[in-house]
Each structure stands twice: as C-alpha cells, then as structure tokens.
Amino acid sequence: MTDMSTTPLTQLDRVVIRFAGDSGDGMQLTGDRFTSDTAALGNDLSTLPNFPAEIRAPQGTLPGVSSFQVHFADHDVATPGDAPDVLVAMNPAALKANLADLPRGGTLIVNADEFSRRNLAKVGYAANPLEDGSLTGAGYHLHALPLTSMTVEALAPFTTLTRKEKERAKNMLALGLLSWLYSRDTAGTEAFLQAKFGGAPEILEANLTALRAGHAYGETTEDFAVRYQVAPAAMPPGTYRTITGNQALALGLVAASERAGLPLVLGSYPITPASDILHQLSTLKRHGVTTLQAEDEIAAVGMALGASFGGALGVTTTSGPGLALKSETIGLAVATELPLVVVDIQRGGPSTGLPTKTEQADLLQAMYGRNGESPVAVVAAQSPTDCFDAAIEAVRIATTYRTPVILLSDGYLGNGSEPWNVPSSADLPDLTVTFATEPNDLDDEGRPVFHPYRRDEATLARPWAIPGTPGLEHRIGGIEKADVTGHISYDPDNHDRMVRLRQAKIDRIADTLPPLQVDDPTGEARVLVLGWGSTYGPIAAATRLVRATGAHVARAHLRHLNPLPADLGDLLRRYDRVVLPEMNLGQLALLLRGRYLVDVHSHTAVRGLPFTAAELAQVLHEHLLALAAQEVPV
C-alpha cells in the first residue's frame, strides 16, 4: 500500500519484536506474515515461535499464551534475539507471561480491550497495569490501544459477519499497525490472504480491511512519535526465501532422493514438533514422494525399512519418545545393513516432557539407545536453513554406507525460520546409488555366487541387492550373519568379527568428512567454544559479543556426532580450555571426555528455550577470567 505517513522516520540497525497473545489470537500467523514481509524487505532475520502443547488451553490463562519472536537487522543475524525491544501483548496473560523478558525502556503495544476485570483476575492482576502507572513507572513505552474494538469498528460494513468473527481479525489489525511502525510493505501478506481466502471473498475482504485499518491507524494516530526503518542487510547475491527448519529438512530429503535416483518413502506417526515434515512431504507426491501415516512409531520405521529393502529411500520422522519406540527396528537396520534415515526433532524430555519446547537431550539415545553394539551414524543440523544440508548429508551417509543415520534437529530449529539463499540443484552432490545386479563372489567350486555380506573395500558397505534382481535371491534378518555369506551364524569368532566390522564401517565415514572449520580470526584464542546442533546461532552471537570486548575466543561446530571428525582430537588439544554449551546435562561433553581425555567444560541449561547470546557471552568471559587467573604467579 502507498505510504502516506508523515511521522518522522528513525533508522535502526536491529529490532526484536515479540507478538504474544492467547492461543486462539493468531500470533503465530501474525509473526509468520511479519517475518515474510520483513524478509521481502531484505533484512536478515531469525524467528522463535513459542506455543503451548495444548491446542486451546483455557482462554485468557497463562498456560494458553502463545508467542512469536522475530529479530531482524541490517546485518547478519544469528539468533532470534535474547530479549524483545517491542512486546505486542494481546491480553493480560500475554503481558504477564512476557513482561519480565522486556527490558526497561522497551516498547509495549497492548490490546487494552482485553484488560477487563475478569481477564485481569484470571492471571492474578489485582489492578489494571495499564492504568495503575506500574508500566510507565517502570520505564516502558506503553501504547494501550483498543485493538479489538478498532477491528470491530473497521469491519462494521461486513453485516453478515458476527461480532466474534470480526474480533478474530484483530491480529491482522495489529499486523497492519506494526507493518506501518517498522515500514514493512504488506503486499506479500495481502497476496497470502488472497491465496488463502480466495474461495471466501467476504473473509478475505474482512482480513484485508483489518490489515489496512491497522496501517491507516498508524498513519493518522499521534500515539507513535516516530516510526522506524531497518535497512536491508548486505546478503550474498542469490534468490532467497524464508524457510523453517522442518520445511528445509523436508526439501532436503526430496532433493537427496532426486539426486540419489531413489523414490522417497516416508513412514511417520504424528508427533510434535516433527509432524510438519510429514505434512509437507505429503504435499510433494508430484516429486514421487510416498508418505505412509503408520499406526504407531514402530510401524512407521518398519514401513521405512521395508521400503529401503525394496530399494527406496526409507525415511522416518519423529521426536524423542518416538525414537525410543523405534529403537529395535533401528537395530534391525544395523544388522541388515540397509539405508535408513531417522529424523529426530528433539523436544524436552523425559517421557512426554515438553512437547513444544526445545532440547538437545536425545544425543545419547541416538548414539546408544539400542541393545547390543549397535553403531549408527549421527548428524545434527545447526540452523533452520542448515536442516536442508543436514538432510542431504544424512542421505549420503545412509546410502553410501548402507546404514541407519539419525538426523538430529530440535523444536527450535524445526519451527524457527530465517532467510535461505536457495541453492541450485546442479550444485547439490550427486548421490547416485548403484544396486547390485551380478554375483560378487565365487563359491567353493568356483561358480559365481552372490554373497550379501561381501563388503566394499573402501566403505565396508555391503551390496544393496533389491528384490526383483534375478540370481541374487538372499535372506537377511536380525540374527547374526556369517561374514561374507550372510548365513545365520552363532560362531563366537564370527560374531566378534561382525561386531567390529559394523563399528569399523561407521568409523570409515570419518574418512569422507571435510576438515573442521575453526573460527579463530586472530589465531590468538586460547579458549575454544565448541557446539553441536541448534546452539550454533547463540554461540556465534555470544562469540561476537566477547570479541567486541577485545577478548579472543575460537569457535567450532560439529555436524557429525558419530563418527566424530578425525581432526577433532587435535583441535580440542590445541586450546587451553574447551567450553561446550548444550541444552542437556552434558551429553556430548561426556562423549568427548571419554574419547579424547580432554577436560571439556560443560555449560548446560534445559529450560526448553535456546541459550541467549548474553548468557553464553557471560559464560565465556568467566572461562577467560578463570584461565587468566591460573596464570597469575602465586
């Protein structure tokens, strides 16, 4: 829409906005649309949705609060931001649940209509904080606006809509206002609404009207003395889109399937926060994708393994509780040495835990959560867009080494979004798979014969001979197999050999890994901060904060958790101190200490939320101080 505003513009380099409201208020959609319009403007950005597990917790209560935080800037952004600069609170519960995160001096935009005595009482406010001076007294810039009644008023011409229906568009009015305040173009949202409600012209018009009314209100009100602009970030040339981690992961699987020449068969059982991948893949049938919604987690991985046996790319997606159920079948895939990709979008545990919150506490389950010596490859994604590359890497390892690969993402990555410089398919690795079609050995009498466990010398992978291939009929299964022939074998020496061969095969993967990237610009750092998975963003931001003070800190991040990169041991020993932040109680630290005998300093938190940059910067400063103190001569 044309910009008619005369309010003075102030340039900012970065802003963090948090939209918060009741679960039914549409905060996720509002945040999502604001994000898309922000991306279209060319800002770099990162988002953090945060919502309750209940689809509709009781209205107006603290457990029902849903929020969406977006951080956008004229430079590259590593995290969704530690704390919001602006809090949009659609009701008293949203204010109460989020106010503590808003620093003094922050901007508050509040839907005053919802601050009724009843709603205030629901969350334990004795007095109306919009009126008792507590907010302005605390230094917040408060804009208490009647967003609901403004929406109803704007939609007065829509005589066939009920009041309740009109009220539901208040999120669009809020979005319009924020778009004005931060100089966002709403064309993208308008197009989105057109596509979404094209079949319901009145609903479409009502949403557009509310959106425009919010924008117009900003232009005419004197409530806001200034509006803001955040210039586009200087990003590498390319075609961009915003994408969530789960979307990127789904696309990565499809891309890998096409590059491998294998049809993708997903077996999945719905579970938060992984279900989006099932949803997304179920819409991609035209790319030859088959999705099977199984009766349970066990069947889901079983279907995937059955498809792999048949020569497809078998994938299953789940979260921690589902991974627990899949353990035995993953063990079968280890024994049968078939490719299988198991995606774990980690969430808070144990048991049902925190279904919609993030955590990294499934690492040891991924590594060891099976009976027997049962090694699998484990890879982790580090950012929403990186989920694409991690998925391709998981498929590469699974198909090359004929092994299950557990791909670890988490709720923060899965639901978070950021701009993605879309790669060209031509730049993706060639993952072409060759099935066995001929005998690969001679029997005792020198006749050609197929031996399903005769391995490739380089990778130690066994041949993938799929049903339908004449002459290669064979039987595989979970009972120990004789080396080479694959017959049932209970021989002690054979078992020892096979256990070591399966481990050696996984270890061989390290041969193909690129050298670790170490971010140590001056080469003077003595502290290395190491991470894996979704701590990438917070660690990068914390490193920046520490370096801004003139201190030196090096940084490295692991994609591969099993096997670990061959050069990791040397890297760890090169630094006087290694700090490892994890959203668990130190699972990777345990592995590294055992493997390398390096005194890794663990920093852990399991709050269901990503680390803040400030928290990690503080931790790094403490380690820098401690290291310096050791040097002080006594």
Partner 1 sequence: MTTRAGAAPAPPRSGLAGVPTAPVDVTLTKKEFTSDQEVRWCPGCGDYAVLAAVQGFLPELGLRRENIVFVSGIGCSSRFPYYLDTYGMHSIHGRAPAIATGLATAREDLSVWVVTGDGDALSIGGNHLIHAMRRNVNLTILLFNNKIYGLTKGQYSPTSDVGAVTKSTPAGSVDHPFNPVSLAIGAEATFVARTMDSDRAHLTEVLRAAAAHRGTALVEIYQNCPIFNDGAFQLLKDKDQAEARIAHLRAGEPVRVGSGELAQVVVRERSGRLGVVPEHEVTRSQQVLVHDPHDPDPSAAFALSRLDDPSMQHMPMGIFRQVDRPTYDDAVRAQVDAAVTSAGTVVSLDTLLRGRDTWTVDGTRPGEVEQTLEGEVTDGPIAAAGDALVEEADEVAGADGPRTE
Q: Per rule CB under 8 A, is residue 75 in the interface with partner 1?
A: no
Among the listed residues 122, 424, 452, 428, the one whose alpha carbon sits nearest the alpha carbon of residue 261: 428
What's the rounded Cα separation, in Å, for the pair 46 and 233? 13
Binding partner 1 (rule: CB under 8 A), the pick from 243, 376, 408, 578 is 243
Q: Which stretch binds partner 1 (CB under 8 A): 291-299, 500-508, 524-532, 612-620?
A: 291-299
Binding partner 1 (rule: CB under 8 A), the pick from 5, 14, 42, 608 is 42
Residue type present at position 321? P
Residue closer to partner 1 by CB (options 135, 354) is 354
> How many beta carbons lie within 10 A of that of residue 187, not counting itself?
11
3-state secondary structure of 234: coil
Burial 452-462, CB ≥16 within 10 A → b, else e: bbbbeeebbbb
* Rounded least distance, CB 538 to partner 1, Å: 21
Residue listed under structure tokens 């088959």: 290
* Rounded least distance, CB 57 to partner 1, Å: 11
CA angle 377, 381, 387 (to 5 degrees): 115
Footprint of partner 1 on residues 8-27 (CB under 8 A)? 23-27
Footprint of partner 1 on residues 396-425 (CB under 8 A)? 414-415, 417, 421-425
Residue closer to partner 1 by CB (options 444, 493) is 444
Binding partner 1 (rule: CB under 8 A), the pick from 15, 17, 40, 390 is 40
Binding partner 1 (rule: CB under 8 A), the pick from 4, 286, 446, 548 is 286
Q: Which stretch binds partner 1 (CB under 8 A): 226-234, 431-439, 583-591, 620-628?
A: 226-234
Among the listed residues 189, 240, 177, the one whose alpha carbon sits nearest the alpha carbon of residue 43: 240
Footprint of partner 1 on residues 448-467 (CB under 8 A)? 467
Tell me, by CB under 8 A, how many residues bind partner 1.
Answer: 118
Binding partner 1 (rule: CB under 8 A), the pick from 61, 111, 179, 247 is 247
Q: Which stretch binds partner 1 (CB under 8 A): 91-99, 293-301, 490-498, 523-531?
A: 293-301
Q: Which residues is 221 bridged to in the sheet?
A: none
What interhelical angle do 320-336 and 297-309 show, nearest 10?
30
Binding partner 1 (rule: CB under 8 A), the pick from 176, 311, 348, 533 is 311
* Rounded least distance, CB 349 to partner 1, Å: 12
* Rounded least distance, CB 217 to partner 1, Å: 21
Among the listed residues 220, 244, 240, 222, the one whose alpha carbon sits nearest the alpha carbon of residue 232: 240
Residue closer to partner 1 by CB (options 175, 525) is 175
Look at the chain and count its residues.
634
Residue type present at position 208? L
Binding partner 1 (rule: CB under 8 A), the pick from 146, 149, 204, 263 is 263
Tokens of 137: 């007294």
> How many beta carbons lie within 10 A of that of residue 202, not counting itself?
13
What's the rounded Cα separation, in Å, for the pair 137 and 627? 43
Burial 589-620, CB ≥16 within 10 A → b, else e: bbbbbeebebebbbbbbbebbbbbbebbbebb
Binding partner 1 (rule: CB under 8 A), the pick from 89, 332, 568, 580 is 332
Footprint of partner 1 on residues 96-155 (CB under 8 A)? none
Residue closer to partner 1 by CB (options 340, 578) is 340
> How many beta carbons lie within 10 A of that of residue 104, not counting itself?
7
Footprint of partner 1 on residues 44-63 (CB under 8 A)? 49, 51, 53-56
Residue listed under structure tokens 């099993």: 562
Q: Per rule CB under 8 A, is residue 376 in the interface with partner 1?
A: no
CA angle 83, 85, 88 (to 5 degrees): 100
Residue closer to partner 1 by CB (options 265, 363) is 265
Residue closer to partner 1 by CB (options 244, 318) is 244
* Rounded least distance, CB 58 to partner 1, Å: 14
Q: Per rule CB under 8 A, is residue 439 in the interface with partner 1?
A: no
* Rounded least distance, CB 402 to partner 1, Å: 14
Q: Per rule CB under 8 A, is residue 246 in the interface with partner 1?
A: yes
How deeply is 18 buried, as exposed, middle or buried, from its count of CB atoms within 10 A (0-12, 13-18, 19+)? buried
What's the rounded Cα separation, in Å, for the pair 84 and 107? 9
What's the rounded Cα separation, in Å, for the pair 94 and 103? 16
3-state secondary structure of 104: coil
Is the previous residue joined to 463 through a cis bond, with omega within 30 degrees of 0? no
Q: Which stretch binds partner 1 (CB under 8 A): 76-84, 149-157, 329-337, 606-614?
A: 329-337
* Rounded least distance, CB 245 to partner 1, Å: 9
Q: Per rule CB under 8 A, is residue 235 in the interface with partner 1?
A: yes
Q: Per rule CB under 8 A, is residue 336 in the interface with partner 1?
A: yes
Residue 429 DSSP one-character state: P
Specify whether the CB–CB gap between 183 and 9 falls below 8 A: yes
Binding partner 1 (rule: CB under 8 A), the pick from 112, 476, 484, 501 is 476
**Residue 451, Cα to own-chain centre: how many angstroms?**
41
Residue closer to partner 1 by CB (options 272, 535) is 272
Write the secondary structure of 145-212 as one string of H (helix), E (strand) and C (coil).
ECHHHHHHHHCCCCCCCCHHHHHCCHHHHHHHHHHHHCCCCCHHHHHHHHHHHCCCHHHHHHHHHHHH
3-state secondary structure of 603: strand
Residue closer to partner 1 by CB (options 249, 539) is 249
Q: Per rule CB under 8 A, is residue 41 in the interface with partner 1?
A: yes
* Rounded least distance, CB 588 to partner 1, Å: 27
Specify whether the CB–CB gap between 58 and 46 falls below 8 A: no
Residue closer to partner 1 by CB (options 24, 439) is 24
What's the rounded Cα separation, in Å, for the pair 205 and 158? 9
Footprint of partner 1 on residues 547-606 (CB under 8 A)? none
Q: Which stretch binds partner 1 (CB under 8 A): 6-14, 77-85, 188-196, 540-548?
A: 188-196
Residue closer to partner 1 by CB (options 26, 581) is 26
Residue closer to partner 1 by CB (options 177, 472) is 472
Q: Which stretch binds partner 1 (CB under 8 A): 252-260, 493-501, 525-533, 588-596?
A: 252-260
Footprint of partner 1 on residues 266-285 (CB under 8 A)? 267, 270, 272, 275-276, 279-280, 283-285
Binding partner 1 (rule: CB under 8 A), the pick from 82, 85, 113, 258 is 258
